[in-house]
Structure 1
């Protein structure tokens, strides 16, 4: 974007905020409410946990054991497995936070960082099961289908990205994993970190709080922008124009699509309201959740701005993820029989939703870690 276009866009935004102060206030409040109810419980505990695990050397321990798994499948070092587990557990933008951290510490090459960034950003399990399946659809069982489509699609994107910059061979030599070497690597990482336990905990809480507050700022700001776009009927104009090009698709569906491409949660709500048939609702929901929204794009761009990771590869990966997730969801709908009766489950209050989201994310994290550790033990025995 040129400087003139940037200044013009910011001037229009400022003008809109002055003309519609009430809309700005309500949309910003709505974005922050969404952050408090869904994002904060899914992110903050795991941000702190990831910082503590990295400081303890656990990532180095896991990296040695899972090198023989991550290299052939994803062309990534074993340490990337920790980012995969945390990204799938906590949702946006945990994968970007940890990928940028590993790249800054030279644990990943530029190409490896871009491969890892491509498939470690998802909606959180709490959002898919709690907010969308139970809250918006009123069909909790569909959370299994939504999560399966999104997670499997992202793993497929990760496998496809193993061919990204494939001509550039890794400079690291492969050594068979062993528990002794993994333990030594963990001890070495602990010895290199001279901070006390209190300093480590304080730094973890401070850095995690700053990051999750940054996410809140992005959500509030993009909620305001989207409200102004709707106030000026820009998304309605785009939807009407698209309807003229493709008359089979109604204007509300296109409007839900455009709103969802900008902000995922609002698009998911409108997708359910604008579509009647379940397979169509699921198709648009998985498309939007695979894409993530421009608000998430801005968060990722800000998090990797201090590194040399290219943002274009992330955009390509999100596009692939969106269409693969849509295709998988329709396939799973045809081959599985998931009860989809409308249970009319109300969205719980904030305190209950906080604990439900925390419990679900914790279960996913423990499951990911257990599978990774179990696989590492099997690999150690086979390669002895």
Structure 2
């Protein structure tokens, strides 16, 4: 963006804030409420945990054990498996934060970092299962369809990105994983980081709080921008203009779509209100959650700004994931007996209570860790 365009956009935004102070306050508050209810409990504990695990050398431990799996499947080092696990567990923007950390530490190359960034950023399981399926839709069973579509689409994107900028580097070792070698690598990493545990813990908490507060700022700021765009009828104009070319799609659905392009959560809420057919709801929700929204884009851009990682491959990956997730959601719906209407399906109330943000993230983390260690055991020499 040129300097003139940037000054004009910021001046217009400042003018809007002065003209509509109540809209700014309410929209910023709504963004912070979403952060407090869903993002903070999903991210903060896992940010602290990731910092502690990295300082304990766990990344090096996994790097040795999972090298023989990650290389042939994703063309990534074994250390990337830690980012995959934490990204799937905690949601945005954990994958970007850890990818940037590995790149700054020189643990991955630039191309490997861009491959890793492409498929380690998803909505958290708590958001998909708790906020969207149980809370907004009132149909917890649809959380399985939505999350399966998102995660499978994400893995397919990761596999496709193994062909991204293939280079002929030094041949990787084909040795099978060894617990002894992995343990030695972890001990060496701990020896290099000779800080006391109290210092490690305090720095992990400080760094995690700083990061999660940055996420809060992004969410509040983009909530304000989106509210002003709606007040100025920009979203309505875009929806109406699109309806001229795509008459089959009603304007309210297009409005929900454009809201979701900017901010995923508000787009999901608008989808539930604007769309009546259940299969159309699921399709648009999968598309928007796969895309993730410009708010998340800004977060990722901010976290990788101190590295040499390029942003455009991430945009391509998000576009691919949104389209693939939409298609997969419709395929999965054909195998599930759910009426295509807005009539609520009766489920035990305990299912709604169980799939809250923290529990869903914890179950996902334990499941991924178990799967990783099963892969390690399978790859062990007999």
Give the TM-score normalised by the residue count of structure 1: 0.95
Query: What 5-or-longer segments of structure 1 have no aligned partner?
Result: none
Alignment partner of 1:55 is 2:50: no
Query: Is 1:342–2:341 an aligned residue pair?
Result: no
- 1:359, CA displacement in angstroms? 1.3
Separation (CA, whole Å) in 2 of partners of 1:125 and 1:168: 37
Secondary structure at 1:138 match in 2: coil
Query: Residues 142, 29 of structure 1: CA spacing in aligned structure 2 closer, same or farther, 3 A cutoff?
Result: same
How far 1:338 moved relative to its partner?
Answer: 5.5
Aligned to 1:198: 198
SS in 1 for 2:334: helix
What is the SS of the residue equivalent to 2:356?
helix
SS of the residue 1:98 aligns to = helix
Alignment partner, residue 375 of structure 2: 375
Cross-structure match for 1:238: 238
Q: CA deviation at 1:377?
A: 1.4
| Runs of 5+ consecutive residues of structure 2 not aligned to the other structure | none
Contact 2:130 2:355 in 1 (8 A): no
Query: Structure 1 residues 339, 54: CA separation in 2 closer, same or farther (over 3 Å shift)?
Result: farther
Distance across 1 between alignment mates of 2:231 and 2:175: 59
Is the Cα–Cα contact under 8 Å of residues 243 and 254 in structure 1 kept in the other structure?
yes
- For 2:191 and 2:358, locate their aligned partners in 1 and report how far apart those are by CA, in whole Å: 32
Change (3 A) 1:220 1:347: farther
Q: Give the equivalent residue in structure 2 for 1:72.
A: 72
Q: Is the 8 A contact 1:134 1:347 kept in 2?
A: no
Aligned residue for 2:166, secondary structure, equals coil
User: Which shifted more, 330-339 or 253-262?
Assistant: 330-339
1:336 positional shift: 3.1
Superposition misfits of 4+ residues, deviation over 4 angstroms: 338-341, 343-348, 352-355
Within 5 Å, give how 1:119-138 maps onto structure 2.
119-138=119-138
Q: Give me the whole-angstrom Cα distance separating, in 1, the residues matched to 2:344 and 2:304.
A: 42
- TM-score, structure 2 normalization: 0.96
What is the CA–CA distance in structure 1 between the aligned matches of 2:68 and 2:302, rounded to whole Å? Answer: 32
> 8 Å contact 1:48–1:208 — kept in the other structure?
yes
Partners of 2:62 and 2:336 in 1: CA distance? 35
CA distance in 1, matches of 2:355, 2:209: 19
Count residues in correspondence.
Answer: 379
Counting only pairs closer than 5 Å after superposition, residues 215-230 of structure 1 correspond to structure 2 as 215-230=215-230
